[in-house]
Structure 1
Amino acid sequence: MLRYLTALPYALPVAAVGVIVAAVIAKPVGRRLREHPVIVFFWMASVSVVIAATVTPSGHAPGLNDGLTTTRVWAWSFPAPGALFSVNWQSMNLLLFAPLGVASGLFLRFRHIVRAASIAALLSLAVELVQYMVIPLGRAQFNSATVVIGWVGIVVGMLVGRLVAIQIRKTKQKGDQGQLQS
């Protein structure tokens, strides 16, 4: 949790820029994909928030001494199931990637859902690799549990997104049928 809070001075401006860029290009991208611009905006804004929270320097990074900035950690582990029910880095990563999964699940076309989810899954892996390779970020580590937790967040989010999309379509169909009958 502290890791996310120390990144806020850097992450908030990056997230704001990403959301603004998403707002500007969502309509033309949505038109080109034949998807609703709000869904495209939600997906792109979610990507920018993930990038902002994970690939910006930690608040403590500028004060790290040389010995700490050259230390790298490569950990292979699975997430601890019990840790998902408390506030820690695993639950925070799950919550960070869940909106990206929800946005991926809201797309109308199956191929867009698959592409969005694939990009989201690759983003989870890419974030860990960037954190490992770019030492000045102050997070010189690769932890496979973090990648898996990101994927779990994406899958859980996609399930929620698909349920919401199905419910919206059912409601819209009932509204359309009601208008036809009157």
Structure 2
Amino acid sequence: MIEAVLSASPLFWPGVLGSLLLAALLSRRAGRLLRAHRAVGFLLLFAVGGVVTLTLLPDVRMSLWENARYGVRQCSFDRVAPHPLSELLTATQSSLNVALFVPLGATAALAGTWGRRIAAGTFAALLPVAVEAVQYAVPALGRACDGQDLLDNYFGLALGLLLGVLAGPLGRLAVRSTRRRATRPVARRRTLRP
């Protein structure tokens, strides 16, 4: 399954590297925007870059022109249902769709203030709909709008939010203790003069 995803998207590795580079360069600003540590800003930017890389880069098994010509403008909502846990624990398209949105949900929960958490959560909740809308509107991408993808993405967001809520207090405690140690005055040693 993973090989099929990578073969359909030769821009996967450049997209991942570009996402890493942008996340590293802009993590401090994104952290400030979220009122959180820059690691949370890095996670946000890398998660959004991963979503864009895996969902909006064109499928190049056919040319863009052929994708546009043979692409069907419709969203499939038949057979949209939760998957059994055993299926989500194997490498399937659904499990990859779930895993793709877990970091984004965790980022929303790790934002520094309630207002920022709500804003990040709203952005995270709108992103799957925006991705499916772009896949529907731009058939040249060779992607398909699918209701099952939405369900899987929202399940991943929910898992990420849960993980972020559980890990948030521990992460904030670690950051505070690190900051306290860094700002604690250093005791000067007295030297005896002969």
After TM superposition, is the score higher than 0.5? Answer: yes
Match of 1:117 in 2: 121
Match of 2:94 in 1: 90
Residues 35-77 of structure 1, C-alpha deviation per residue, up to 9 Å, x if partnerless? 2111111111111111111100123132884686332342114
Match of 1:59 in 2: 60
- Could you tell me which runs of 5 or more consecutive residues in structure 2 were left unpaired when the two chains were aligned: 185-194
More helix per residue: 1 or 2?
1
| Pair 1:154-2:154 in alignment | no
After superposition, the Cα gap between the structure-2 partners of 1:31 and 1:121, relative to the gap in structure 1 and judged at 3 Å, is: closer
- Aligned pair count reads 176
Residues 12, 53 of structure 2: 8 Å contact kept: yes
Alignment match of 2:146 (pick from 143, 147, 165): 143
Which amino acid in structure 2 is aligned with residue 36 of structure 1? Answer: H
| Inter-partner Cα distance in structure 2 for 1:135 and 1:162 | 38
Match of 2:40 in 1: 39
Match of 2:169 in 1: 166
Q: What are the residue-to-residue correspondences of 1:5-24 with 2, within 5 Å?
A: 5-24=6-25
Residues 105, 121 of structure 2: 8 Å contact kept: yes
Report the more deviating stretch, 166-175 or 57-66. Answer: 166-175
Please provide the CA RMSD for this pair: 2.7
Residues 7, 56 of structure 1: 8 Å contact kept: no
What is the percentage of aligned positions where both structures have the same residue?
Answer: 27
| Inter-partner Cα distance in structure 1 for 2:113 and 2:39 | 15
| Pair 1:81-2:83 in alignment | yes
- Could you tell me which runs of 5 or more consecutive residues in structure 1 were left unpaired when the two chains were aligned: none
Q: What is the CA distance between 1:163 and its match in structure 2? A: 0.8
Residues 79, 149 of structure 1: 8 Å contact kept: no
Find the residue that maps to 1:61 and give its secondary structure.
Answer: coil
After superposition, the Cα gap between the structure-2 partners of 1:95 and 1:80, relative to the gap in structure 1 and judged at 3 Å, is: same
Which amino acid in structure 1 is aligned with residue 88 of structure 2? Answer: L
| TM-score, normalised with respect to structure 1 | 0.82
Q: What is the CA distance between 1:14 and its match in structure 2? A: 2.1
